[in-house]
A and B are shown apart, each in its own frame.
Chain A
Amino acid sequence: MADPLSTPRLTSPHLEHFTSRTIRLVGRVTQLRGDNATLDSDGAVTAHLNRDSHLTVGNWVEVVGKVNGDLSVRVLVSRDLGRDVDFEAVKAVVDATHRYKEIFYSEQ
């Protein structure tokens, strides 16, 4: 059982290793369709939104959610980051997180 409080940072390629875990992801909103949104986080991710998420296409967003079997994410909480995010910096953090995973999260 994953340690209840940690939400490892991911980008799209990492999703398959973290199914049924709660994770944190930063991506840019490329599509909005009702309750679903498509995010671009170094790859496409389908996000199932909840009541409180108000996303804007073209903006960056950080979502905390659970990874489904089909690699889509059920969003629990979202935060708008505006239009100006340096994704390289984000990727660097994700890279560091996984390189030194002991610091950031515990294995399932």
Chain B
Amino acid sequence: MADAARSQITQGALNAIFNDPDRLQRDFPVPVCQCVQVKTLASTTEGQPERYRLVLSDVSNFVQSMLATQANHVVHDGKLKKGCFVRLKSYQANAVKGKKILIILDIEVIESLGEMEKIGEPVALTDKEIEEDVKPANTTIAGDGFYGNKVHQQPAAQDRPLPSRGAPTSSSSHATIYPIEGLSPYAHKWTIKARVSHKSDIRTWHKPNSEGKLFSVNLLDESGEIKATGFNEQCDQFYELFQEGSVYYISNPCRVQLAKKQFSNLPNDYELTFERDTVVEKCEDATEVPQVRYNFTNIGALQEIEKDSTIDIIGVLKDVAEVTQIVSKTTQKPFDKRELTLVDDSGYSVRLTIWGKTATAFDASPEAIVAFKGTKVGDFGGRSLSLLSSGSMAIDPDIPEAHKLKGWYDSQGRMDSFASHSNMAGAGAAGGQKDPLKTVAQVKEEQLGMSLENPDYFSTKSTIVHIKQETFSYPACLSEGCNKKVTDMGDGTWRCEKCDINHPRPEHRYIMQLNVNDHTGQLWLSCFDDVGRLVMGMTADQLMELKENDTAAMETAFEEANCKTFTFKIRAKTDSFQDQQRVRYQVIGANPINFTVEAHKLADLIKLYNID
């Protein structure tokens, strides 16, 4: 009986699995082994099925195996027992710390053979070769033909869920290549194969409690991108090693942390930090790893994109400005910048600013296709773009979107005129998407200024019906550019805390409350010095003088100012004032009425009532 079983066993199969893939294909398409041991591993966490550890023997060798949970049923059904014989229909060979482990994905018990004592004297498998670095014997992803993959394992690889976050499969070896998207702080052992799409310069920082240097790289593979940073020692250790455009294997130990979004433009929740023991190796075979991943947004769709978000964009270069230099107000450093105008087939155009070397060395000619990765959306002039330092630019890239744009531009785009996001309906000073014209009733209905987060901006044409005569101004610092309130020291001088100067007299600045009406309702607005002067027709100092010396003249002045109509630009926001939340309407600008424009507006409004 044992002989019958023995003859069925594919002796030498185990050795072939691990050491001789070619022979395996030929001689042992379906290995048959004896299961000489079955052990249960209790599940470590709730909800996890138990795992079974087997020892399989093909008479020549034995090997430790793990039964994949999808095959657990053979044990549950009572079929797989110590001493029985099995056909390995689907499996994977792995190595953990130099020890061979066989992962069984699909197994069939040869019930006819029953159970027997261990046949033969199987010995442990020896290594055919020393494991090369971290290159795995099999891969769960990456292209075919990569390492002379065992072809019959490919379907197994695809059925198996990728060893991504949350799956503590003890079978994954440290040599399994993870997709970048699968990285998480919970992944125990991983290796990624990625291209450096961007390497930053070494930067140093000096803060009161810490200082040091760092550099970062953006890593890219088919699944996604992630940023990796090396600090201090790791900065020195790895800076020279990484080259932009090359592909590397990176394995843990290497910290996976939540991404600090303000320092990165990549859409990954996590980022990597190199540690002293992080393993980095250059990879020669870089074929499957993409060069740069783009995720383009149409220029027309920019309107919907929120300010400060990062996008990629591609367009036809319509206009190139000269390089200009601006000095940063905060750091006094000069910056080179250049403005480009891009258009695309959505019919819109947008201004994009490039900085530093990219600006000075820019030499693409108009009508070239340029693709940008990592641009920040701003709202200057409606919508504007700025290339981030971590972003990149490619002129006439060889990608399908670029060809499509070129074709469109050649055939029709050249002739088109383009809308820019700053063209908005609405004439006069009030026009513009930033501050739409509203009636008082609309302001209250739409609860402008009630949201706690952002102020709302709008314009309204209304008439002043009352000006608060008490406290219409405050004494302000005389120093140029400083408008801080100064305190009366009592001895004839006025002190400004910010400038630390005592002035002989203050400069009065308006801070007026105006009650304005339109045909739908009334609002209280507060306005500052610039609008105050416009309304009163004199400076606050002059008005204060009248107040002190000639009350009648002051009252006349207020009468004159009353009943004037303006188009006010207003910022509405909610303030907490003594436990109460109130909406404050602050005037940021006022324009006298342009009668022609207003007449047309009214005429249009009236026309809307027409039935014909």
User: Interface of A with B (CB < 8 Å)?
Assistant: 86, 88-89, 92-93, 96, 99
Check if B425 is an interface residue, CB within 8 A of chain A: no
Q: A89, B606: Cβ atoms under 8 Å?
A: no
Q: A92, B596: Cβ atoms under 8 Å?
A: no
A interface, over-half SS: helix
Check if B330 is an interface residue, CB within 8 A of chain A: no
Check if B610 is an interface residue, CB within 8 A of chain A: yes
Check if B1 is an interface residue, CB within 8 A of chain A: no
Per-residue interface assignment for chain B, residues 595 to 612, with 1 indicating a CB less than 8 Å from any chain A CB and 0 otherwise:
110011011001100100
Task: Report how far A96 CA is from B606 CA in the complex, Å.
Answer: 7
Please name the residue on chain A nearest to B612 by beta carbon. A99
B interface, over-half SS: helix
Q: A89, B599: Cβ atoms under 8 Å?
A: yes
Q: A92, B599: Cβ atoms under 8 Å?
A: yes
Q: Which 4 A-B pairs have the closest CB atoms?
A: A92-B603, A89-B599, A86-B596, A96-B606
A99 cross-chain contacts in B, Cβ below 8 A = 610
Task: Report how far A86 CA is from B603 CA in the complex, Å.
Answer: 12
A93 cross-chain contacts in B, Cβ below 8 A = 599, 603
CB distance from A88 to the nearest CB of B (A): 7
Q: A89, B610: Cβ atoms under 8 Å?
A: no
CB distance from B608 to the nearest CB of A (A): 12
CB distance from A90 to the nearest CB of B (A): 9
CB distance from B72 to the nearest CB of A (A): 83
11 contacts between A and B (CB under 8 A): A86-B599, A86-B600, A89-B599, A89-B600, A89-B603, A92-B599, A92-B600, A92-B606, A92-B607, A93-B603, A96-B606
Please name the residue on chain B nearest to A96 by beta carbon. B606
CB distance from B91 to the nearest CB of A (A): 85
CB distance from A80 to the nearest CB of B (A): 17
Please name the residue on chain B nearest to A84 by beta carbon. B596
CB distance from A47 to the nearest CB of B (A): 24
Task: Report how far A92 CA is from B606 CA in the complex, Å.
Answer: 9
Task: Report how far A93 CA is from B600 CA in the complex, Å.
Answer: 10
A86 cross-chain contacts in B, Cβ below 8 A = 596, 599-600
A92 cross-chain contacts in B, Cβ below 8 A = 599-600, 602-603, 606-607
CB distance from B112 to the nearest CB of A (A): 100
Per-residue interface assignment for chain B, residues 574 to 612, with 1 indicating a CB less than 8 Å from any chain A CB and 0 otherwise:
000000000000000000000110011011001100100
CB distance from A97 to the nearest CB of B (A): 11
Task: Report how far A99 CA is from B608 CA in the complex, Å.
Answer: 13
CB distance from B600 to the nearest CB of A (A): 6
Task: Report how far A88 CA is from B603 CA in the complex, Å.
Answer: 9
Q: A88, B606: Cβ atoms under 8 Å?
A: no
Please name the residue on chain B nearest to A88 by beta carbon. B600
Given contacts A88-B603, A89-B595, A92-B599, 18 further A-B contacts (CB under 8 A): A86-B596, A86-B599, A86-B600, A88-B600, A89-B596, A89-B599, A89-B600, A89-B603, A92-B600, A92-B602, A92-B603, A92-B606, A92-B607, A93-B599, A93-B603, A96-B603, A96-B606, A99-B610
